[in-house]
Amino acid sequence: MVKSMKTPPTYAPNSVDHALRLAQILQLDGSVTVSEAAARLGVARSTAHRLLTALVYRDFAVQNEDRTYRVGPVLALAEHARSDLGALRAAALGPMRALVDRIDETANLSVRTGRNIRFIASTECAQALRVGSREGMVFPAHQATGGLIELAALPDEEVEALYADGRRDPGEEMPDMAHLRRELRVVRRSGVALNLERTERGVVAVGCAVKDRAGRTTAALSVSMPSIRYSPGTLKPLTAALTVTVEAITRAL
């Protein structure tokens, strides 16, 4: 059967349509300047600049040092098959809910894209003082619990190559590689990453790897809590609960 041509929506705000088209251009072309974006969209340079600034704010784009724009962490997630991410979320949400019911702290699922991680699922606990949903947020991988878990799954040579890439986002903070190597060795030995207020003051997170049936790390599951509720004595039961949960996710994949 031949598909009919798409019918434009009756009500499509120009700004929304332009932003979506610009996101498509970034994915197809790799990078774009303000002038190129203005010409492609048929808008003024000031309008193109505002659209690109909005895409940068929402992590759909990043600005290079030469003032060109390229795909950001959100669009880079297309490197992961959409069906794979959907299957991962579907497999994780039930076990995550059971984990939160058991420990009464917030649980998060994250995947790595390059030097960043993005939270693709979050289940909040019911406590009045709690860590809120992280879903949709992006953090540098070397600073976040899930990022350390996923970096630890790579050989040292791959980690070095990842951070040796000369292309950096403006303002991007690069890690001390000697310190990062030591951290990743600890994570590999223990299978656990501990984040003591590194990404946010007053927040502690503990994470473990989510693996597929072949044993490959595909994501990271972490538990976040206010620092006042964390003590070294809570690490062992938290790790045990995380281990049970990631095993349940693997079985569901």
User: To 10 degrees, the CA torsion angle through 37, 41, 43, 45?
Assistant: 0
Q: Give CA angle at 42 (41, 43), nearest 5°.
A: 95
Contact 246, 221 (CB under 8 A): yes
**What pLDDT, on the 0 to 100 scale, is given for residue 6?**
40
**What pLDDT, on the 0 to 100 scale, is given for residue 216?**
93
Count the helices and strands in the chain (H runs, E runs): 9, 9
What SS3 class is residue 116? strand
- Strand-pair partners of 217: 211
pLDDT, averaged per 10 consecutive residues of the chain (253 residues), comes to 43 75 78 90 91 89 88 69 74 96 97 89 94 87 96 95 77 88 96 93 96 92 97 95 97 90
d(CA 134, CA 120): 8
**What pLDDT, on the 0 to 100 scale, is given for residue 78?**
59
Q: Please identify which residue in the block is written with the tokens 């809120």.
A: 132
pTM: 0.72
Which helix H or strand E contains 203, and what residues bound it? strand 203-211
Q: Please identify which residue in the block is written with the tokens 């938290």.
A: 238
Q: Give CA angle at 237 (232, 239), nearest 5°.
A: 90
d(CA 119, CA 110): 4
d(CA 70, CA 56): 9
**What pLDDT, on the 0 to 100 scale, is given for residue 42?**
87
- The alpha-helical segments, DSSP class H, found in the chain are 14-29, 34-41, 45-57, 73-76, 82-103, 145-152, 156-164, 177-190, 235-252
